[in-house]
Structure 1
Amino acid sequence: MMMNLFSSFDPSTNFSLSLNWLSTMIGMLIIPPMYWLIPSRFSMIWFKIMMTLHKEMKILINSPKSLGSTLIFTSLFSLILMNNFLGLFPYIFTSTSHILMTLSLALPLWMSFMLYGWINNTTLMFAHLVPQGTPSILMPFMVCIETISNIIRPLTLSVRLSANMIAGHLLMTLMGNTGTSLNFSLLNILIFSQILLLTLESAVSIIQSYVFTILSTLYSSEVN
């Protein structure tokens, strides 16, 4: 029995080491065989998904200078999706539920976009601070608002992903802990509810990885 509701999100183990972070690398041991074995249905489906994402991101970026950046974003989608799904399995640490993991993905991306934009497209970056059609008297306020909204982008990206992962896992944990005190009829209802919630969490895992990747793509398109 868990001593603390949040103990499932604790990266430390019985050896006082943060070995639970190794779950981040588990999926990478599974992926390589699809590249050298005979193509299976799974690899063909995954290839179609990646090609669909590649085409969508290519339209969003819409710049010949950044054609290869879609590979970065599709790889980012694969990494987040893999970790989100691994967290749904029992006794596997959910690394994307920690702000340390999500911020380490969002902050370098945002920083690289900002450095590239301000060094190569300085005039365009200044133009983004004042939306078109803004009255002259409101321009100083709009510059402050746009600057703040731009600075907090990596924080909003990381908090959105980690908060959604934590919320679903906590709800499943709370519902699971009540199973020992229920009778047979209520237990059946609880199991059915848990299955529905697990299905919902699977959809959330896909949606959140997609949202993180698409928002990162949109942020990169603003600096080109």
Structure 2
Amino acid sequence: MAGAYAAVVSLRHVLEDILHPTWQWILLDRRQIQSLLENITSLQHFLEDYHALLTSKPEAEDGLESQMAKASYAAEDIIESFVLDQILAPSQVQVERILTCFSQDFPKVMQDVDSIEKKVMEIKEKIGVVKDQQPVNSLQPAAGFSRIVAPGSRDAMVGFDSHLHQIMERLIGQEAELQMISIVGMGGIGKTTLASNVFDHPTIVENFDIRAWVTISQEHSVREIF
């Protein structure tokens, strides 16, 4: 559950960032991005609302969470690579080539997510937990997670609170020296989600006049980043 949830939330944050006015200059079909965002948000709510019922009937999952994680990470990789390649493109000709590649790869991502969305609807019907047909108290949120909407409109995952506060204490403590804080761990545990919650936390926003979010690929140039 944690891996799928972290992957879905991470992708949702990427999509929301791309749709932000700051990134209007990036060339892409924003209707497609908005459509994917709506589907991913729906999957996130499904994981939050129906997880307890799914775990009580594991036969209903049928590897669905694994498919969600795989599709979400694939979509995030394609989108982030596309944005980075476009930023670093040396010419308009190269930008057009990048757009062509993206237009070939992105539909596959949409198909995978649409397929998962259909399976989600089938599961809801199969286990008889369509929200409109059940009492409110019969629907419990996902174990270990809580939908918390912060002022920055990002989700916080319960269980990460201690890590969140530790990082914030280091960032706004009395230490005057420049610091580098690494968040490490295996893929899918929510490192990006934790970092984004720190980045958008009201206390951090209040204490730092300038903040920057940079996505770096494996092959990069320090000069180009700064």
TM-score range with shorter-chain normalisation? 0.3 to 0.5
Q: Comparing both structures, which one devotes a greater share of its residues to helix?
A: 1
Larger RCO (CA under 8 A, 6+ residues apart): 1
> Between Structure 1 and Structure 2, whose CA radius of gyration is higher?
1
